[in-house]
Structures are given as structure tokens and as C-alpha cells.
């Protein structure tokens, strides 16, 4: 089975590079929200692994895409938590 245009291998390289780049970004920025990115990736993986799929390889592909989608969302949420939690706590504890 061949791809139209012959870009099948390049697509896998780009998707793999995006995944490795997101993992590296989460590890490098672990203290600044990267932990949320890794947690989001794990949750995305777990939510998609039990979904639709004819065989195990299709389910693993779905889980891989779930992890790839969960990492940036978790990184964003972790970054918001890291940078905004001191201000929110300050507003809660402020004297009236």
C-alpha cells in the first residue's frame, strides 16, 4: 500500500519529532508547568487506549495521539497554576 505523493515516511518523522519535542519541553520546564504536561500526556494516553479500535496497534495509535494532545493542554494548565497560584492565594488572604 503506497501513499499518494510519497510523504508517508516524512509524516511519521514529523509526528515523532513533535512527540519527542513535547516530552523534552515538559522535562526541561518541569518546575514551570512541565509536570502538568506529563500528567496531561499520561491522562490522554489512558483515556484513548480503551477507546475504539479493531486491533491492538490501532488502539496504541489512538493512545499515542491522545498523549500528544494531552501534553500541551497539561503544560498550559500547569503553567497557569504555577504562575497564577501565588496571586490567587494573595487575593484570598488579603485583609479586608
Mean pLDDT, 10 residues at a time, the chain of 96 residues: 64 87 90 90 90 81 89 91 88 82
Alpha-helical regions (H) of 1-96 = 8-28, 34-49, 56-93
**Is position 3 within any domain?**
no
Region of residue 3 (phi > 0: left; psi between -120 and 50: alpha; otherwise: beta) = beta
Q: What is the pLDDT of residue 4?
A: 60
**Is position 13 within any domain?**
no
**Is position 15 within any domain?**
no
Where in the sequence is the domain holding 34, given as residue range(s)? Answer: 30-93
When divided into structural domains, the chain yields a total of: 1
**Is position 76 within any domain?**
yes
Say what the pTM is: 0.76
**Is position 1 within any domain?**
no
Q: What's the first-to-final CA gap in the chain, in angstroms? A: 70
**Is position 86 within any domain?**
yes
Q: What is the pLDDT of residue 60?
A: 86
Amino acid at each position: 500500500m503506497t501513499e499518494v505523493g510519497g510523504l508517508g515516511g516524512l509524516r511519521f518523522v514529523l509526528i515523532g519529532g513533535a512527540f519527542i519535542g513535547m516530552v523534552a519541553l515538559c522535562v526541561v520546564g518541569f518546575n514551570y508547568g512541565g509536570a502538568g504536561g506529563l500528567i496531561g500526556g499520561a491522562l490522554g494516553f489512558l483515556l484513548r487506549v480503551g477507546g475504539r479500535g479493531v486491533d491492538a496497534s490501532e488502539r496504541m495509535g489512538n493512545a499515542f495521539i491522545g498523549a500528544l494532545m494531552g501534553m500541551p493542554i497539561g503544560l498550559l494548565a500547569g503553567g497557569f497554576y504555577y504562575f497564577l497560584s501565588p496571586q490567587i492565594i494573595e487575593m484570598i488572604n488579603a485583609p479586608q
